[in-house]
Amino acid sequence: MRTLHVLLLLLLCITLNGCTNFQSKPDIGSSHTNESVKSGSYQRELEQLKDRLSNSKNEDLKIDIRQSNLNQFTSGLVALMNMQESIKIKDSELSNKFDATVFSSTKAVVLEDKKFNIRVVNFQAPLYLKGTIEDKYTIIQWWNDEHHVRAQLVMNEGAEMVTDFVIRTNKDKIELLLGGYVSLYSPKPVFVSSWELDNQKWTESKDIFTNTISTNDFWNLSIYDNTLNVENQPHIEMNLEISEDTNGFVITSDMDESVTVQFSGKGVEIRQALKLSNVDGADQQKIDNNEYAIDNNQSFTTNLKGWGKVKFVSATSNTHGLNQANFFLLDSEDTILYVFPEFNGNNRGMLEAVKGVSFKDMNQDGYTDIAIIGKYFAGSGPEGEVPFPVAGIYFQQPDHSFITRPELDEQINGKGHNRTLYDVIQYVSKQRATVH
């Protein structure tokens, strides 16, 4: 009996030691297995979403089936954006995955020494399933340096399509301005809505807009809760873009009017943008056709950053018997807004004609510059009657005025980079000229 007890105890010890030894072995493949499971789950969800989106577009299916697939796609996309794997996919890749139905934009901000990434994801339901009034959806996804990921549907079955957004940190909060267009009628009104991240949830910012624009016949501004809607006269298109200080939006129109919507203090301020000019109001006038001959071939209507929609005009004047180049910016009523400084070529001879004009940010400072080539006659010597090219650059300043860099103009022409606008732009772009 004693022998039997000893054998039983021995067997029990072996069994316990065996179990202990098995449990104490390192789980070599555990982390890889978990990552594989997560990746596999993400990929399966992605494929299911593509199928649901495809079914929602399939007009051979019944409406209720298509609507069910759209609802599943919407909730599934929010769930997908809550997965950590989703932050690895780029905006362009996300759009390609869903055949350009989904598009997104990602920006970063620093709050209390931590970097936060904000991605705004938009998609539009099939046209014949939801119409044009309730077919827009917007999701905000955000994550920090530790890759803690969250996503939230903030606009569901609305008429607003977000095209861009502005981030601001205010003390311990992150605030957003979402901007875009409202699909009510054409031309589309513009909207800007305000949001804040509070306790890991995006909520509407109430009573945040301050309107400083007086009532007028041009703009119709209305504010409801956290959203500003801007309409103007019929048949006049409006454009929305980020302001140059990246602190808000600038809303412009074909009528050269503009409104700024920007973070200011504790709220968001709406202001009428002032029309720029270097011509005193009392002296503003149209170009005198008796003094200047306008070259319509080298005059253009353009949307110039900082100025809005303006007319760039090339004109010739006669000074002391010599034709000289002159350049202006005009508004929609052909009133002179801006007179450019003396062109580089006017000191080199008599103008034959302006041969080319190009608008481009050539020193990568965010402001549109202007490159111009003119043909001139020296007027003396055996080569006096042979026209030669002269190039010059107008660099735009932060206050939207334009200046020249005579030493750079000399280099362009002295080294022969003045034959084509392409040559001029290529050479100037490499110089990284500092003009501020």
Domain-ending residue, one of 274, 290, 315: 274
Which range scores top for mean pLDDT: 36-40, 153-157, 272-276, 316-320?
153-157
Does 129 fall in a domain?
Answer: yes
Does 190 fall in a domain?
Answer: yes
Whether residue 69 sits in one domain with residue 111: yes
pLDDT of 282 higher than 50: no
pLDDT band of residue 365 (cuts 50, 70, 90) is confident
pLDDT at site 52:
95
Domain that includes residue 119, residue range: 44-154
pLDDT digits (tens, 9 = 90+) for 87-113: 999 999 999 999 889 999 999 988 877
Whether residue 176 sits in one domain with residue 149: no
Q: Which amino acid is at 234?
A: P
pLDDT digits (tens, 9 = 90+) for 167-199: 998 878 899 999 999 988 778 899 999 999 988
Whether residue 168 sits in one domain with residue 92: no
pTM of the full predicted structure? 0.59
pLDDT at site 348:
87
CB burial of residue 87 (10 Å; 0-12, 13-18, 19+): middle
Whether residue 288 sits in one domain with residue 270: no
Number of domains in the chain: 3
pLDDT of 434 higher than 70: no
Tokens 């306790």 — which residue? 199
pLDDT digits (tens, 9 = 90+) for 125-135: 987 888 777 88
pLDDT at site 430:
87
pLDDT at site 273:
65
Does 33 fall in a domain?
Answer: no
Contact 337, 307 (CB under 8 A): yes
- For residue 361, CA distances in Å to 64, 290, 432 come to 52, 34, 11
What percent of the chain clears pLDDT 90, i.e. is strictly above it? 50
* Alpha-carbon dihedral angle through residues 308, 310, 314, 319, given to the nearest 10 degrees: -90
